[in-house]
């Protein structure tokens, strides 16, 4: 059994929109105030505030004269905000992320999580706490037979679209074992090159809508701040960005599902995308490729279906190494797409790198360690 989230779009009534807006605001306030209290306790008293202590603080905040409105929404989303903050600090203490940041009241995205005791699911309909009517959900695909939602998260994105993510327990049938092993090399001229010789062309979703984006951004910049016309222009721009993101997500989901279905072991590079996007000439193309998101999809789908994803050390010279004789070239400029090794082997740069990543991935799987270039 695994926990899976099914995401759907829904269309709230005006009353539900107003109630959700107040809930989103309360969630943001509780998160920020709890973060401020934790920061104060650490920097002034050198002590950590636990989740239980912050939960008691929330109860006291609801009784204060200035914040009695915190009792209006359901208690579930407010408790979920405290749990999310606790998870953020846990990652920070493990040095996985930076220090938690305050949430801004922006037009980007708002969300609220409801636990099982804060919503009802009956006859294929979901009704949230403190609401009189069930949500008008577009069930684009059915939930697993007999599945009972344990948690739902409602969200509002910058394009004005409401979504609900339904978390259920599902039985996943493992794929039949196979001997196929694939090396994957990320690139920009081709999105991915495989050790089998296949190349996946770059869809360039952002480039296709670049003219529309520029036009919408210019129109937004000319609108007066705070005006209704500026809000409309911001929504038009957000819809273009949402269209780009949806197409990119669909493409990556289909590709990752196919690779996990066909291969037992998938070897990839451990790329530092955060550092790579600092290159101003390549940042746009790298962001559009969304390598980090693709790796995340491969990893959780491989975990579901009994496959292995192996990350090869980012400093391994996969492009400079001959996949036939193992000779390492002193340099390999980016403009060199094909090259000949003194051993007589002719290489496509990306496919050769994918073959080396495949071999290194098998070594990592056998030895349990990263593969770094030899020191001279």
Instruction: Between 164 and 202, name the one with better pLDDT.
Output: 164
Catalytic residue among 185, 206, 288, 299: 185
6: its two tokens: 């099914």
Q: In sequence order, what are the beta bridge partners of 312?
A: 269
Whole-structure pTM value? 0.85
Give 109's strand partners. Answer: 157
pLDDT at residue 373 is higher than 60:
no
CATH number assigned to the domain with residue range 181-202+252-367, chosen from the 4 options 1.10.10, 3.30.420, 1.10.4160, 1.10.4100: 3.30.420
Angle at which helices 291-305 and 228-262 cross, to 10°: 50
- Percentage, residues of the chain above pLDDT 70: 97
pLDDT band at 369 (very low <50, low <70, confident <90, very high): low
**Active-site residue, from 110, 157, 206, 350:** 350
**Confidence grade of residue 376 (pLDDT, cut at 50, 70, 90):** very low
Integer-rounded Cα Rg, in Å, for the chain is: 25
Mean pLDDT for 84-113 is 90
Residue 361 burial (C-beta neighbours within 10 Å; 0-12, 13-18, 19+):
buried
In the chain, where the domains are located: 2-170, 181-202+252-367
Extract the tokens encoding 200.
Answer: 């996946």
Determine the straight-line distance between the first and last CA of the chain, rounded to whole angstroms. Answer: 49
157 carries an active-site annotation = no
**Alpha carbon of 20 to those of 15, 156, 163, 217, 234: distances in Å?**
9, 9, 12, 29, 21
Q: Is 350 a catalytic residue?
A: yes
Tell me the average pLDDT across 62-70.
Answer: 93
Residue range 111-140, pLDDT digits in tens? 999 999 999 999 889 999 999 999 999 999
Task: Give percent of the chain with pLDDT exceeding 90.
Answer: 69
Look up 170 and say whether it is catalytic: no
Average pLDDT over residues 255-266: 95
| Least confident segment among 76-85, 111-120, 366-375 | 366-375
Burial status of residue 258 (CB atoms within 10 A of its CB: 0-12, 13-18, 19 or more) = exposed
Annotated active-site residue in 157, 269, 288, 299: 269
d(Cα 374, Cα 376) in Å, to the nearest integer? 6
- Joined together, the tokens standing for residue 263 give 């291969």
């Amino acid at each position: 059994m695994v926990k899976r989230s099914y995401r759907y779009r829904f269309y709230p009534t005006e009353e539900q929109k107003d109630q959700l807006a107040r809930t989103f605001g309360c969630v943001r306030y509780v998160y920020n105030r709890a973060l401020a209290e934790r920061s104060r306790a650490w920097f002034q008293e050198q002590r950590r505030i636990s989740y239980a202590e912050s939960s008691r603080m929330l109860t006291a905040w609801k009784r204060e004269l200035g914040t009695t409105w915190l009792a209006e929404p359901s208690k579930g989303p407010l408790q979920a905000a405290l749990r999310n903050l606790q998870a953020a600090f846990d990652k920070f203490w493990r040095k996985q992320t930076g220090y938690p940041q305050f949430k801004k009241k922006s037009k980007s995205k708002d969300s609220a999580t409801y636990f099982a005791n804060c919503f009802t699911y009956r006859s294929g309909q979901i009704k949230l706490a403190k609401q009189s009517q069930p949500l008008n959900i577009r069930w684009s695909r059915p939930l697993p037979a007999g599945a009972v939602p344990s948690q739902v998260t409602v969200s509002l994105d910058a394009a004005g679209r409401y979504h609900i993510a339904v978390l259920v327990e599902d039985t996943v049938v493992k794929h039949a074992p196979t001997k196929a092993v694939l090396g994957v090399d990320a690139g920009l001229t081709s999105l991915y090159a495989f050790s089998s010789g296949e190349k996946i062309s770059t869809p360039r979703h952002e480039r296709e809508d670049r003219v529309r984006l520029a036009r919408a951004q210019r129109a937004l910049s000319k609108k007066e701040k705070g005006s209704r016309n500026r809000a409309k222009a911001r929504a038009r721009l957000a819809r273009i960005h949402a269209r780009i993101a949806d197409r990119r997500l669909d493409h990556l989901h289909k590709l990752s599902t196919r690779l996990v279905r066909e291969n037992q072991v998938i070897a990839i590079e451990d790329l530092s995308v955060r550092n790579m996007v600092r290159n101003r000439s390549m940042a746009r193309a790298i962001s559009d490729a969304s390598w980090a998101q693709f790796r995340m999809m491969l990893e959780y789908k491989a975990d579901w279906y009994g496959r292995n994803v192996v990350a090869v050390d980012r400093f391994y010279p996969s492009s400079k190494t001959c996949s036939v004789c193992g000779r390492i070239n002193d340099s390999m400029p980016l403009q060199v797409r094909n090259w000949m090794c003194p051993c007589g082997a002719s290489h496509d740069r990306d496919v050769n790198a994918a073959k080396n990543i495949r071999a290194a991935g098998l070594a990592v799987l056998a030895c349990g360690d990263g593969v770094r270039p030899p020191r001279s």
